[in-house]
Amino acid sequence: MALNPMEQFAIKPLVEAPLFQIGGHPIYFTNQALLMVIVVIASSLFLTLAVKPNRLVPTRGQSMAEMSYEFVANMIHSATGEDGLKFFPFVFTLFIFVLCSNFFGMVPGSFTVTSQIAVTFALACLVVGLVIVVGFMKHGIGFLKLFVPHAPWYLLILLIPIEVISFLTRPISLSVRLFANMLAGHTMLAVFAGFVVSLGAAGGIFMGVALAPLLLIVAIMLLELLVAFLQAYVFAILTCIYLNEALHLHDHH
């Protein structure tokens, strides 16, 4: 294969000299750090500037910002109820960051921040850490009742270990889900792009055949845009579901 499809995920320092050192480890300003800075600046600039005019009849930008705000607010309200709304800033920030990282990664030639397991695992640990802190603050030691479902005692012997394991694997499943989707999508695009390049290089009749994978890339790109939104949505809604469990334990509202 002419192109290595994994090459796009390589992290390269942009500035030769390390920024500073932590415990003897040099910290570089990498292409990933640059993309993260761009994502944060672009999304916060857009969200603040779009609602600045504050018109009764919104412009396109303002209604985009308002719609995303309402979308996340509805999501939190339906998943966690009224008292989950105080986590709105957290969930909204998380959703917008993941969404913008995914979309910026779809720009050809750029870098996908969320295709790095380090980033998604840090985000997932933040979520699960917050769930644990909120749970213990709200219920005290009673938060441990989360691991005891309503069941006869002889089933509890089996169920409690399962509940504990499923809670402990949450950061892994939450992070690997986002990471794997982004990684698989971009690898697939790169592999099909490699087909176009090698068919085009073959020349003659193969030049015409190269059109097929090229059209397929366009279709896959559309699918990947859907996946980029969907994974940000899933990340945010799972955060809401976990927060709901910490807030309400087993009682359904």
Partner 1 sequence: MDVQAAKMVGAGIACIALVGAGIGIGNVFGSYLSGALRNPGAAATQTTNLLLGFALCEATGLFGLVIALIILFT
Residue ranges binding partner 1 (CB under 8 A): 6, 173, 176-177, 179-181, 183-184, 187, 227, 230-231, 233-234, 237
The smaller minimum CB distance to partner 1, of residues 40 and 117, is found at: 117
The smaller minimum CB distance to partner 1, of residues 6 and 45, is found at: 6
DSSP 162-181: HHHHHHHTHHHHHHHHHHHH
Could you tell me the smallest distance in angstroms from the CB atom of residue 41 to partner 1? 28
Distances (CA, A) of 99 to 59, 122, 148: 22, 16, 35
DSSP 195-225: HHHHHHHH-TTHHHHTHHHHHHHHHHHHHHH
Inter-residue contact 228 to 106 (CB < 8 Å): yes
| Amino acid found at 20 | F
Could you tell me the smallest distance in angstroms from the CB atom of residue 143 to partner 1? 25
Six-digit token pair at 240?
């809401």
Please calculate the CA angle 114-116-118 and round it to the nearest 5 degrees. Answer: 110
Could you tell me the smallest distance in angstroms from the CB atom of residue 164 to partner 1? 21
Could you tell me the smallest distance in angstroms from the CB atom of residue 171 to partner 1? 14
Q: Where are the beta strands (DSSP E) in the chain?
A: 20-22, 25-27
Could you tell me the smallest distance in angstroms from the CB atom of residue 189 to partner 1? 14
**Cα–Cα distance, 138 to 95 (Å, whole number):** 24
The smaller minimum CB distance to partner 1, of residues 47 and 237, is found at: 237
The smaller minimum CB distance to partner 1, of residues 100 and 186, is found at: 186
The smaller minimum CB distance to partner 1, of residues 183 and 193, is found at: 183
